[in-house]
Amino acid sequence: MKYLKSLAATLLIIPTLMFTSCDDDNSNELDGTGTARLEATDAAVDAENITGVFLSVNEAQFMANGQIQNSIMFETPKEFNLMDYQNGETYILGETELEAGAYDEIRLILTSSNQAYVKYLNGSTDEINVPSGSTSGYKIMGDFEIMANGMTELVLDVDLRKALVKRGNGEFNLRPTARLITKSATGMIQGTVDEDNMDDADKVVVYAYLEGTFEDSEMDEPTDGNSRFENSVNSAVADASGNFTLAFMPEGDYELIVASYKRDQLLGGELNFESATQVQVSIDGETTSVVEVEAKVVTNLLINLFQ
């Protein structure tokens, strides 16, 4: 049975202007046009032998109430490796003018011949099945608003850990689980997992859950076509020094789960989930499991062994 342990974290909040977009235009006008800038980012893919997850995009469509309002069209397909854009790094897809108002979806229309594939350490590749990827497109849902005479920076967070799954038949699928977020409305959690917590792990991942949404069943072996820690909002892999970044986090109260994985040498180095630990934060002498995220604010954590 998997069970939760506890880790304590010291908290440092650094208010800082993280982004330089013009989303906060003082006019608040909804009559006219504004500019949408579209970027893509990723969290980490679980499989250790995959070096690239490539998308080939012909067009990015901006939708409202199921109708195309405008598109970014590419003369030649935009092909990029999502795994190159993690920890707050983004791939810029482009900009377009939109009528001011409310929108609720973006669709990436993928090339029909080579829409998506994974690349392995040995250089070989496998296709990724994206249902309707080259017709109605890869769909990313999320409400956003375009203000007249302003710039709205939008981020598509594909989060391959959840979106890319390998079915029982060996086929890769790209699930429509990506987040669509307005950059200026997000904050960031940066932190370091103390080395003492990483000594016995080959991989450490930090998962962020909205307060009250984590359940022990999240640690269970996932069913076919799903992922472990399925309901996490975001995730980040700690590097060799324990550093991690949870970027583009919507404002809210979050609970952090630190999971450790061990490599099974008998199974070709496959990583197996070992244990999970809930982070307890000390704020002004009070202990809580909740970390608050505010827009344009970086929250720093040093996660230590709980005493």
The pLDDT score that the predictor gives to residue 302 is 80
Query: How many residues make up the chain in this entry?
Result: 307
pLDDT at 255 over 90: yes
Which residue, 73, 66, 75, 79, is CA-closest to 97?
73
Q: Which carries the bigger pLDDT value, residue 306 or residue 101?
A: 101
Over range 71-78, report the average pLDDT: 95
Amino acid at 27: S
Joined together, the tokens standing for residue 95 give 């900009």
The pLDDT score that the predictor gives to residue 19 is 56
Look at the block and give the residue holding tokens 């003492």.
196
The CATH code for residues 4-15+187-305 is: 2.60.40
Percent of the chain exceeding pLDDT 90 equals 58
The pLDDT score that the predictor gives to residue 167 is 82
The pLDDT score that the predictor gives to residue 136 is 94
Alpha helix (H) residue ranges in 138-254: 160-163
pLDDT band at 43 (very low <50, low <70, confident <90, very high): confident
Q: Would you kindly state where each structural domain of the chain is located, as residue ranges?
A: 4-15+187-305, 33-185
Do the domains at 4-15+187-305 and 33-185 have one common CATH topology? yes
pLDDT band at 46 (very low <50, low <70, confident <90, very high): low
Task: Give the predicted TM-score (pTM) of the model.
Answer: 0.88
The CATH code for residues 33-185 is: 2.60.40
